[in-house]
Homo-oligomer: A and B are copies of this chain.
Amino acid sequence: MLVLFIFDACMAKIQSKKNSTKKEIIIEKAAKLFRDKGFGASSMRDLAEVVGVEAASLYNHIQSKSEILQAICFKVANEFISHLEAVERSPEPTLKKMETIIRFHIRMMLEQYEYVYISDHEWRHLPEPYLSNFLNQRRSYRKRLGDIIENGIQKNEIKNIEPYVAILTILSAISGIESWQRSRKSTSAETLETNMVKYLIEGLKK
Interface residues of A (CB under 8 A from B): 37-38, 40-41, 121, 124-125, 159, 161-162, 164-166, 168-177, 179-180, 185-187, 191-192, 195-196, 198-200, 202-203
Contact = CB atoms under 8 A, between A and B. Distances in A.
Contacts of A172: 172-177, 179
Given A40-B38, A40-B41, A202-B202, A169 B173 contact: yes
9 contacts: A38-B38, A38-B40, A38-B125, A161-B199, A164-B186, A165-B191, A172-B176, A172-B177, A203-B203
Contact of A203 (B38, B125, B202): B202
A121 B125 CA distance: 15
Nearest to A192: B165
A162 B171 CA distance: 19
Given A124-B38, A198-B161, A203-B202, A176 B180 contact: no
Nearest to A172: B176
B169 A199 contact: yes
Contact of A169 (B41, B176, B187): B176
Nearest 6 CB-CB pairs, A to B? A172-B176, A40-B40, A165-B195, A203-B203, A162-B195, A173-B173
Contact of A168 (B41, B162, B177, B202): B177
Given A161-B195, A162-B195, 13 more contacts: A38-B124, A162-B187, A162-B191, A164-B187, A165-B195, A168-B173, A168-B177, A168-B192, A168-B196, A172-B176, A173-B173, A200-B203, A203-B203
Contacts of A195: 161-162, 165-166
A137 to B, nearest CB: 14
Contacts of A176: 168-169, 171-173, 175
